[in-house]
Amino acid sequence: MSDAGYDASFIAEALPAFISEANEQIEMLEQLLLQLEDTPDDRELLDALFRCAHTVKGSAGMFGLDAVVGFTHHVETLLDRLREGQLALTPALGSLLLQSNDQIRALIEAAQNPLAATLADEQARAALVLRLQLASGTEAVAAATPALAAASDSPAPAGGDWQVAVSFNADTFRNGMDPLAILQYLGGIGRMGAIRCKTAAVPPLDTLAGDDCHLAFDFSIDTPLGRDGIEAAFSFVRDDCTLRIEPPAAALPDCAALPDCAALIAAQPPGRKLGEMLVAVGAVTQSQLAQGLQSQALAEARSGSHPMLGEVLVEQAGVDPRVVAAALRKQQQRDGDENRFIRVQADRLDEVITLLGELVIAGAGASQLARDTQQRPLIEANRQITRLIEEVRNSTLQLRMVPIGETFARFRRVVRDTAAELGKDVALEIVGGDTELDKAVVERIADPLMHLVRNALDHGLEAPEQRAASGKPAQGRLTLSACHESGSVLIRIVDDGRGIARDRVLQRAWDRGLVRPGVTPPDADILKLIFEPGFSTAEKVTNLSGRGVGMDVVRRNIEALRGSVDIASTPGQGSCIEIRLPLTLAIIDGFLIGVGHSKFVVPLDAVCEVIATRPETSPFDARGRSCIELRGQVLPVVSLRALYALDAPPPERDSVLVIRAGNTRYGVIVDVLHGQQQTVIKPLGRLLQHMRGVSGSSILGSGEVALILDVNSLGALAAADSFPATVRSGPPAGIPLPDMQLPAPAGAQHFQ
Smallest Cα–Cα separation from 422: which of 479, 469, 460?
A: 460
Considering 168-182, 192-206, 300-314, 420-434, the range whose residues carry the highest mean pLDDT is: 420-434
Same domain as 571, residue 427: yes
- Domain that residue 577 falls in: 403-582
Chosen domain end from 291, 319, 338: 338
At 33, give phi and psi (nearest 5°): -60, -40
Distance CA 426, CA 473 (A): 10
Residue 118 pLDDT greater than 80, yes or no = no
Q: What distance in Å separates the CA atoms of residue 151 and residue 149, rounded to the nearest whole number? A: 7
Q: Do 653 and 745 share a domain, yes or no? A: yes
Residue 698 CB: number of other CB atoms within 10 A?
A: 26
The answer on pLDDT for 751 being more than 50 is no
Per the model's pLDDT, the better-predicted residue between 114 and 139 turns out to be 114
Residue with the larger pLDDT of the pair 209 and 3:
209
* pLDDT tens profile 305-341: 667 888 888 877 667 777 888 888 777 664 444 445 6
Residues 617, 602 within the same domain: yes
Determine, yes or no, domain membership for 156: no
Domain identity same for 355 and 460? no
The per-residue pLDDT for 259 is 55
User: Which residues touch 587 (CB under 8 Å, ≥6 apart)?
Assistant: 353, 356, 357, 360, 393, 397, 678, 679, 680, 681
Task: Give residue-wise pLDDT tens across range 391-427.
Answer: 887 788 778 788 888 888 888 888 888 888 888 999 9
Residue 499 inside a domain? The answer is yes
Q: Is the pLDDT of residue 675 over 70?
A: yes
In 458-480, which positions are buried (b, 16+ CB within 10 angstroms) versus exposed (e)?
A: bbbbbebeebeeeebeeebbbbb
User: Residue 242: CA atoms inside 13 Å, Cβ hemisphere, count?
Assistant: 8
* Mean pLDDT score, 279-284: 75
**Between 411-422 and 439-455, two packed helices, what is the crossing angle to 10 degrees?**
10
**Do 608 and 625 belong to one domain?**
yes
The H or E element containing residue 428 is strand 426-431
d(CA 415, CA 426): 7
pLDDT class of 26 with cuts at 50, 70, 90: confident
Residues 407 and 396 in one domain: no
pLDDT at 266: 72
pLDDT surpasses 70 at 171: yes
CATH of the domain at 578: 3.30.565.10
More confident residue, 205 or 218: 218
Strands 476-485 and 426-431, by their bridges, are parallel
Q: Are residues 175 and 109 part of one domain?
A: no
Whether 98 is in a domain gets the answer yes
Question: Degrees (nearest 5) of the Cα angle 141, 139, 69?
Answer: 55
Residues 6+ apart with CB under 8 A from 285: 279
Q: pLDDT (tens digit, 9 = 90+) per residue, 438-487?
A: 888 888 888 888 888 988 898 889 999 999 998 999 999 999 999 887 66
Q: What DSSP line would sit under 441-493, residue for residue?
A: HHHHHHHHHHHHHHHIIIIISPPHHHHHHTT--SSEEEEEEEEEETTEEEEEE
Determine the Cα angle at 460 with ends 455 and 464, to 5°.
Answer: 120
Closest CA to 614 of 657, 659, 643: 657
Q: For residues 538 and 550, give the distance between their C-alpha atoms in angstroms, rounded to a whole number.
A: 13
CA distance 63 to 7: 9
Q: Tell me the CA distances in angstroms from 151 to 73, 103, 190, 223, one per residue in order.
A: 8, 20, 12, 10
Same domain (yes/no): 572, 600: no
Is 48 exposed, middle or buried (CB count within 10 Å of its CB: 0-12, 13-18, 19+)?
middle
Answer for the pair 397, 438: CB distance below 8 angstroms, yes or no.
yes
Return the higher-pLDDT residue of 152 and 106. 106
**Domain closes at, from 293, 321, 338:** 338
Banded pLDDT at 547 (limits 50, 70, 90)? very low
Write the DSSP assignment of 230-296 as a string of letters: HHHHTGGGGGGEEEEEE--GGG-----SHHHHHHHHHTSPTT--HHHHHHHTTSS-HHHHHHHHHHH
Tell me phi and psi for residue 32, to 5 degrees.
-65, -40
Q: 457 and 538 share a domain?
A: yes
Asked whether the predicted pLDDT for residue 4 surpasses 70, the reply is no
pLDDT at 493 over 90: yes
Domain count for the chain: 5
What backbone phi and psi angles, to 5 degrees, belong to 612? -65, -35
Rounded-to-integer distance, Cα 447 and Cα 18, Å: 27
453 to each of 413, 419, 710, how far by Cα in Å?
Answer: 12, 11, 27
Identify the pLDDT of residue 476: 92
- Supply the pLDDT for residue 148: 32
C-alpha to C-alpha distances, 669 to 191, 654, 656, 664, 697, nearest whole angstrom: 82, 7, 5, 17, 20
pLDDT at 496: 92
Beta strands in 583-682 (DSSP E): 587-595, 598-603, 607-611, 625-630, 633-639, 655-661, 664-670, 672-680
Instruction: Report the pLDDT value the prediction gives residue 253, as an integer from 0 to 100.
Output: 46
pLDDT at 270: 66
Percent of the chain surpassing pLDDT 90: 5
Q: CATH number for the domain including 20?
A: 1.20.120.160
Secondary structure letter of residue 682 according to DSSP? B
Residue 155 lies in a domain: no
Give the pairing type, strands 587-595 and 598-603.
antiparallel
Amino acid (1-letter code) at residue 202: V
Q: Are residues 417 and 537 in the same domain?
A: yes
From the list 583, 580, 563, 575, the residue with the least C-alpha distance to 479 is 575
Label residue 495 by pLDDT band (50, 70, 90).
Answer: very high
Name the 3-class secondary structure at 698. strand
Sign of CA dihedral 726, 728, 729, 734: positive
Tell me whether residue 154 is in a domain. Answer: no
**Whole-angstrom distance, CA of residue 606 vs CA of residue 711:** 8
Top-ranked range on mean pLDDT: pick from 230-234, 492-496, 696-700: 492-496
Q: Which of 557, 582, 607 is the last residue of a domain?
A: 582
* C-beta separation of 370 from 382 below 8 A: yes
Partners of 428 in the beta sheet?
A: 478
Q: pLDDT class for 343, splitting at 50, 70, 90?
A: low
For residue 491, pLDDT beyond 80: yes
In a domain, 222, yes or no: yes
Report if pTM > 0.85.
Answer: no
Q: Is residue 62 part of a domain?
A: yes
Q: Which CATH number do you get for residue 697?
A: 2.40.50.180
Residue 157 lies in a domain: no
Say which residue, 716 or 8, is predicted with more confidence.
716
Q: Is the dihedral of CA 107, 110, 111, 112 positive or negative?
A: positive
What value does the mean pLDDT of the chain take?
76
CA distance 656 to 631: 14
Same domain for 411 and 287:
no
pLDDT of residue 653: 81
Tell me: do 241 and 126 sit in the same domain: no
Q: Can you state the angle between helices 3-36 and 91-110, rounded to 10 degrees? A: 160
Q: What is the pLDDT of residue 481?
A: 93
CA distance 269 to 141: 32
- Structure confidence at residue 90 (pLDDT): 83
pLDDT for the residue 41: 80
Using an 8 Å Cβ cutoff, are 96 and 131 in contact? Answer: yes
